[in-house]
Structure 1
């Protein structure tokens, strides 16, 4: 069970992000867009979470610089496209 869509990704745990990445892995782009709208997310966030989960030894919440940047993106403090 994932957090409410009303709060957006703030406060989501690594487990929540992993669950969202898995849950959306088979969705089409339009289905992903609908999922994200319901949850208050952006497709780029889901993609970043999936990528973080796929990296060997990184997990969905590793404290490396990329994870810190992705975390800033999730919280809306860093532009997606510099």
Structure 2
């Protein structure tokens, strides 16, 4: 949403749809998809697949700590949380 509460589409066309979204702090986002895909989405709408673990674990929710550049992803059916450092 912009400052006037208008819907703004930053990116579309994710392989398995989007589920979780977290701002990185520079206008970019991290987006997760339930089947096990995590994307890095740039503010200009370009995106790239960061991680594809389909069939191994599900990824939906997430948390991002900008101070440490750490991404936290609950694995749901694997009953754990995995942490990744962004470079």
For Structure 1 versus Structure 2, the TM-score category normalised by the shorter chain is: under 0.3
Higher share of residues assigned helix = 1
What is the TM-score when the length of structure 2 is the normalising length?
0.24
The TM-score normalised by the length of structure 1 is 0.24
Whose strand proportion is higher, 1 or 2?
2
Q: Which has the higher contact order (CA 8 A, sep 6+)?
A: 1
